[in-house]
Amino acid sequence: MSASFPTAVPSFRSRIGCDTRGGFYAAPQRYRLHVSPSCPHCLQIAVTHSLLGLDRVLPVAWLPAVPDAPDGGYAALRPLYEASAHQHSGPALAPVLSDNWTGTIVSTHTPDILRDLARRFDGHGLDLYPRGAEKGIDTVGRLCEQGITWAAQRAGQSGGDVAARDTALATLLRTLDLLEWRLTSQEYALGDELTLADVHLWVSLVQLDTVHRHHLDVAAVHRITGHPHVWAYARRLAAHPAFGSHLDLDGIARRHHAHCRGMEAAGAAVQIVDWKAYAPRNESVRHPG
């Protein structure tokens, strides 16, 4: 099956500007993001950061594609974790939003980080998390997690319950059918404006083609490709510099192969999108490691 990774410590969930008692208010250069674009959660954050044009306000520390510590975490993040949680014994995982002033972690929770980037910093006039659209954005996020990512992982499991794999594939195809119907008549996931829903959906489609497809058979992949508006949408967003510039295809492959124990299936040979056409020519220059 596709690789799975431990999630970052859930207790690091402070918010910027939401609780003044915590002292985390938006200030230029105060915070730093620690991300590896080979990780789908980190990729969402990197794309959002670029869409908002926050390079000068909120610096980014790029991490290696594959965690480099013996416990499966990142060695560079260990000091932050130890400063933030006494005797932290788990892996130091990404993504991390840290506070330069205190040398501690603000948050490791991707949805909160994305919302704070969108609402607490001024970025290029874009409103990626507009008032009134919160429910729709969260609904698309759950659709991506359950209907694409989880379903594709379950459908690609080797051995076990064939009926369960068929049910998961059916769930994946129904999700793509719904998205196809939506994208037939609108430009983005929620209508005519780009939002965080599109960031989540695009990253899910990248993972579906570059990771999960490798564990599906040819017939399943051909059925997945039968959603022309979905994949045209994926290509269109990939052509946007804020999206395509963060495609670390080599890193995604190395991260996948470092942790995946599943069997590769014939669907691996059926590429859906030529992501190399949109990725930086020298990915290691943009994202070291």
Per-residue pLDDT, 285: 43
Domain harbouring 222, CATH code: 1.20.1050.10
The residue among 171, 170, 197 whose CA lies nearest residue 183 is: 197
Average pLDDT of the chain is 91
pLDDT in tens, 140-197: 999 999 999 999 999 998 777 899 999 999 999 999 999 999 999 999 999 999 999 9
Instruction: Name the pTM for this structure.
Output: 0.93
Interior angle at CA 108, CA 30 and CA 68, nearest 5: 100
Per-residue pLDDT, 40: 97
On whether residue 25 sits in a domain, the answer given is: yes
Give the domain range for residue 76.
20-120
Same domain, 140 and 279: yes
Per-residue pLDDT, 142: 97
On whether residue 126 sits in a domain, the answer given is: no
Per-residue pLDDT, 21: 60
On whether residue 11 sits in a domain, the answer given is: no
Q: CA 117, CA 108: separation in Å to the nearest integer?
A: 13
pLDDT in tens, 7-46: 544 468 898 986 556 678 888 899 999 999 999 999 999 9
% of the chain at pLDDT higher than 90:
77
126 pLDDT exceeds 80?
yes
pLDDT in tens, 56-75: 999 999 999 999 999 999 99
Mean pLDDT of all residues in 93-110:
95
Q: CA 201, CA 174: separation in Å to the nearest integer?
A: 15
pLDDT in tens, 197-239: 999 999 999 999 999 999 999 999 999 999 999 999 999 999 9
How many distinct structural domains can be found in the chain?
Answer: 2
User: Which of 120, 150, 172 marks a domain boundary?
Assistant: 120
Same domain, 61 and 185: no
Same domain, 96 and 149: no
Torsions phi, psi for 161 (to 5 deg): -85, 110
Domain harbouring 99, CATH code: 3.40.30.10
Same domain, 138 and 273: yes
With b meaning 16 or more CB within 10 Å and e meaning fewer, what string describes 256-267? beeebebeebeb
On whether residue 198 sits in a domain, the answer given is: yes
